[in-house]
Amino acid sequence: MTTPPEPLTDHGLFDAVVNLCKRRGFVFPSAEIYGGIRSTYDYGPLGAQMLRNVREAWWRAMIQERDDVVPIDAAILTNPKVWEASGHLATFTDPLVDCRNCKERWRADQIDGACPNCGSTDLTEARPFNLMFKTFVGPVEEDASVAYLRPETAQGMFVNFLNVVTSMRRKPPFGIAQIGRAFRNEITPGNFVFRTREFEMMEMEFFVPPADSPRWLQYWCEERLAWYQRYGIASEKLRLRPHDTEELSHYSSGTTDVEFLFPWGWGELEGIANRTDYDLSAHEEHSGTTLEYFDQATGERYVPHVVEPAAGATRTMMAFLLAAYDEDEIGGERRTVLRLHPRIAPYQVAVLPLSKKEALTPLARDVLHRLQRYLMCEYDETQSIGRRYRRQDEIGTPYCVTVDFESLVDEQVTVRERDSTEQTRLPIDDVVHHLLERLDL
């Protein structure tokens, strides 16, 4: 019944997905009625649901299905000494130059000796510009009240290391994980939600005995690559890319990126780094608190090394959308379909009464309520059933349940599957079970 999709050009794919995101309520420019604010986005109803599903899928794999990782949820605005110790205050910078003529400011490594605005070559020396957003806590704007919006969630795990070890009675190897917003005052954000100043991270710090960090780095590279495949990205669109020595962050002895083949080329979804004992040792030094682990069994005492898989939730969502986007033909009619994994799709089920006639409403809503207990459902009763199927295909809903006039008599409904468009007639009492089984929920 379905014909193979025509391949989309990569540029066409990007435009198609960005357009779909806006039109169907995945992503809106932030405060669009005020002209937005550059490279800032609000997630609409479908995007908010999908982001939640991305978080949930990560939480499930990284925390729920394991017994060696625990979560935390740390403050965005914390003690600024954390950023002094982590090295962010000193080294988390981009080199900027000022044009002496027109006073514009540019990233030194992105211009060619002359101001892109006025053409002047009268530029200052490059100076480091810190990428952390700064604010003041309390009623007085003075140095003592400066605070920064966290540029990564990782430090929350390091400064809470001792508290977690003690309260949760943990010993290495074990991990602390966190999902949350982070902020970087990027000079050149862009590529839709790929690089934004405010973004959401899913990070885990895995604390291990020092000698074990290389093999744990290997382990987490494989685990994380498999996670993207598990949720529907084909393996040929994914790769692991180890960093060159000169590319490494100041804290890393080895980093491998999980990359996705974006329409503009390979781009990072996640970095998996061997942060060694860089962070814990730095916090030891700056706080004066011992952050060693004492192994009672072996009598060993050591500062654990840390392997960190750090993923971007919003760019992961974008990769899922790009990987899922497809166009094909059904019975001679062209359709757009998002072949999203059922756990990632915004809605798992749409309940569609065949017509708006009142006779169908009570039964259709009864079916809806049964399903809502377990699943995110859409209820849609306007326009032709074919058009409503297309609409659900376009937002990736894996199943539609149609209630028709026959349902009033035989207490059965039609379940339609998104990818195959196959329809199955089922007793209403079996629908919940039927769907939960197929949705792997």
Where in 36-95 is the site for its own copies (CB under 8 A)? 36-37, 40-49, 51-52, 59, 64-67, 70-79, 81-82
Does 164 sit near its own copies (CB under 8 A)? yes
Q: Which is nearer to its own copies, 279 or 328 (CB)?
A: 279
Does 221 sit near its own copies (CB under 8 A)? no
Record the tokens describing residue 311, joined without a space: 């993923």
Three-state DSSP class for residue 159: helix
Record the tokens describing residue 376, joined without a space: 């995110």
Does 321 sit near its own copies (CB under 8 A)? no
Among positions 102, 118, 137, 408, the unique one binding its own copies when judged by CB under 8 A: 137
Q: Which is nearer to its own copies, 249 or 372 (CB)?
A: 372
d(CA 352, CA 335): 19
Does 197 sit near its own copies (CB under 8 A)? yes
Q: Which is nearer to its own copies, 198 or 327 (CB)?
A: 198
d(CA 413, CA 32): 41
The residues facing 260 across adjacent strands are 238, 267
Cα–Cα distance list, 115 to 38, 99, 100, 190 (Å): 21, 6, 9, 21
Does 191 sit near its own copies (CB under 8 A)? no
- Taking CB under 8 A as the binding criterion, the range among 253-261, 280-288, 405-413, 418-426 that sits at the site for its own copies is 280-288
Residue 316 CB, nearest distance to its own copies (Å)? 14
Residue 65 CB, nearest distance to its own copies (Å)? 5
Among positions 89, 372, 426, 428, the unique one binding its own copies when judged by CB under 8 A: 372
Does 373 sit near its own copies (CB under 8 A)? yes
Residue 260 CB, nearest distance to its own copies (Å)? 22
Q: Environment class of residue 250 by beta-carbon count within 10 Å: exposed (0-12), middle (13-18) or buried (19+)?
A: exposed
Does 149 sit near its own copies (CB under 8 A)? yes
Record the tokens describing residue 423, joined without a space: 């329809």
Cα–Cα distance list, 249 to 30, 235, 246, 273, 305 (Å): 31, 27, 9, 9, 16
Binders of its own copies among residues 7 to 26 (CB under 8 A) are: 22-25
d(CA 309, CA 319): 17
Does 33 sit near its own copies (CB under 8 A)? yes
Record the tokens describing residue 122, joined without a space: 């009268």
Number of residues interacting with its own copies: please give it, by CB under 8 A: 87
Cis, peptide link before residue 362, omega less than 30° from 0: no
Instruction: Select from 28, 53, 31, 33 the least CA-distant residue to 43.
Output: 28
Binders of its own copies among residues 412 to 431 (CB under 8 A) are: none
Residue 88 CB, nearest distance to its own copies (Å)? 14
